[in-house]
Amino acid sequence: MAPTTAHGVESAYDYVIVGGGTAGCVLAARLSEDPDCRVCVIEGGPSDVGDDRILRLRNWINLLGSEFDYGYTTVEQPRGNSHILHSRARVLGGCSSHNTLISFLPLPQDLDDWVAHGCTGWDPATILPYRDRLLTRIVPVAEADRNPIAKDFVTAAARALGVPVIDDFNAEPFADGVGFFSLAYEPEGNLRSSASVAYLHPILDRPNLTLLLETWAHRLLDDESGRLTRVAVRGADGQPATVRAERELLLCAGSIDTPRLLMLSGIGPADDLRDLGIDVRADLPGVGENLLDHPESVIVWETNGPLPPNSAMDSDAGLFLRRDTGQPRPDLMFHFYQVPFTVNTERLGYPVPEHGVCMTPNVPRARSTGRMWLRSADPAEHPALDFRYFTDPDGHDERTIVEGLKIAREVAATEPLSNWLVREVAPGPDVTSDADLSEYGRRAAHTVYHPAGTCRMGAADDPMAVCDPQLRLRGVEGVRIVDASVFPTMPAINPMVTVLLVAERAADLLTGSPGPTGSPGPTGRAAAR
């Protein structure tokens, strides 16, 4: 009979994974490959199995703000948009069940940056070979899903800007180029190949794998030896319970909820926690700091009628540019939307065209960095998020958006894309000065839902590192963090595949298994074999 504690009935497993999202699904699958290893996943949302609202990729936009969205907001952004909804998925598979599944390997220089920040063992030669272990099906947008206007965008961008057309962005590292994205999907039926679909659906009958769905983790607790290996949860039935990890507790709740859970458990900036009446267990000032994102703005055109209906997910093609050609990575990116994305321009008073498209200049390596913190000790209250958009002192992020809006107009004025367009709706052709483009671009800015960095890993002498390069939480025994919160810097590309690679690497770190290059992973305790 399971013991009963002050926090309800307690159950025990070898590994407890808090968060059944992108990373959590990978860890659950890999660790449960050992039939003697008991694995439990705590996920706050429902299952995605058999739910076409989740599984149909093109329905992603209808998930924003829905019952599957935690719907976080920001504090006032004096130089940005204060009205952004930061969607975080409340469903098995996490954001890989919620997003567009644009899939890029990190560029080698992205990982070089991590090593430069003290993250030994995260170099390109170690991490990039994990691509061969990924179970998600990643393919370029299928020919049947290539809308004619998206094809003409690719042609026009290559013609206007002199960049190469790229058939597969993951074939080799790129500096710039335009083309159709690679997606984690099954083109037949437009079905997601999310982390849950690829890693968990085939193994849901494993007897050593337990999924606790619609179960909310709200505090980490000590065990008898003082290790932090227990989680206080509220189950789907509303009853309190405790889940204990006999080996390690793995936090995979994402860049908002992982630091939130740590702070609720007394791990974070000590003075801030004391001010809220939270007992301090570990003074880690980096928890909640280094909040990163890929900010982007939008420019909208009306088209000369409805577009052909075929598409994978309505944002199937994109463009990467180097304004600084002395650098090996792009410093400007665009998504091309085959729908008018007007949630922010409409609020600013711009009309909504019945038929339209847009381009979204994006800052791949934004220099503005924010932070998040608890508003109270109440686990039910959303934390405060301050991305501090467009506040970098050199104006890099703002300048990137302004130049992006200008470049988007160059592409739009080039055939064959220009043949589809009737007029620029937002900001409109009269907005031309850098000052006016900046004002518009920042007020109409939005997110592509890539928060990262709030529990970053780093070297032992880095006072703001929250975990070490083995992903172990500093100053606390028994906990590792495995999600985008450990990123020390933001990859230049959409980060979902980077999260998958982090999770695959983490599985080797936990079990002591050799990596794909044959080198053993540094580890604490190896899983039983």
**What is d(CA 141, CA 311) in angstroms, rounded to the nearest whole number?**
9
| Structure tokens, 83 | 């009205």
Q: Could you read off the pLDDT of 150-168 as tens digits, one per residue?
A: 999 999 999 999 999 999 9
pLDDT-based confidence at residue 8 (cuts at 50, 70, 90): confident
Question: What's the whole-number mean pLDDT along residues 254-274?
Answer: 98
DSSP one-letter string for 80-128:
S-TT--B--B-STTGGGGTS--B--PPPHHHHHHHHHTT-TT-SHHHHG
**What is d(CA 486, CA 455) in angstroms, rounded to the nearest whole number?**
5
Question: What's the whole-number mean pLDDT along residues 136-162?
Answer: 98
| Structure tokens, 47 | 């299952």
Question: What's the whole-number mean pLDDT along residues 142-156?
Answer: 98
pLDDT-based confidence at residue 518 (cuts at 50, 70, 90): low
Q: Could you read off the pLDDT of 342-392 as tens digits, one per residue?
A: 999 999 999 999 999 999 999 999 999 999 999 999 999 999 999 999 999
Question: What's the whole-number mean pLDDT along residues 306-325?
Answer: 96
Q: Which residues on adjacent β-strands are paired with residue 212?
A: 42
Counted residue by residue, the chain has a size of 529
Q: What are phi and psi of 8, to 5 degrees?
A: 100, -175
435-458 per-residue burial string, b: 16 or more CB within 10 A, e: under 16: eebbbbbbbbbbbbbbbbbbbbbb
**What is d(CA 288, CA 292) in angstroms, rounded to the nearest whole number?**
11
Q: Could you read off the pLDDT of 318-327 as tens digits, one per residue?
A: 999 999 889 9
Question: Cis bond leading into 416, ω under 30°?
Answer: yes
Largest CA distance in the chain: 73
Residue whose token pair is 């009628």? 305
Which of 196, 192, 119 is closest to 505 using CA atoms? Answer: 119
Residue whose token pair is 């130049």? 403
The pLDDT value given to residue 503: 98
Q: Could you read off the pLDDT of 471-502 as tens digits, one per residue?
A: 999 999 999 999 999 999 999 999 999 999 99
Average pLDDT of the chain to the nearest whole number: 95
CA angle, 189 as apex, 184 and 190 as ends, to 5°? 40
- Is the pLDDT at 6 greater than 80? The verdict is no
The pLDDT value given to residue 296: 97
Alpha helix segments (H runs only) across 212-349: 254-264, 270-275, 343-347
- Is the pLDDT at 527 greater than 50? The verdict is no
Residue 386 vs residue 514, higher pLDDT: 386
- Is the pLDDT at 521 greater than 60? The verdict is no
pLDDT-based confidence at residue 83 (cuts at 50, 70, 90): very high
The pLDDT value given to residue 519: 52
- Is the pLDDT at 1 greater than 90? The verdict is no
Helix 396-412 vs helix 434-443: angle between axes, to the nearest 10 degrees? 100
Q: For a pLDDT cut of 70, what percent of the chain falls above it?
A: 96
Q: For a pLDDT cut of 90, what percent of the chain falls above it?
A: 94
- DSSP helix/strand/coil, 157: helix
- Is the pLDDT at 407 greater than 90? The verdict is yes
Q: Which residues are catalytic?
A: 450
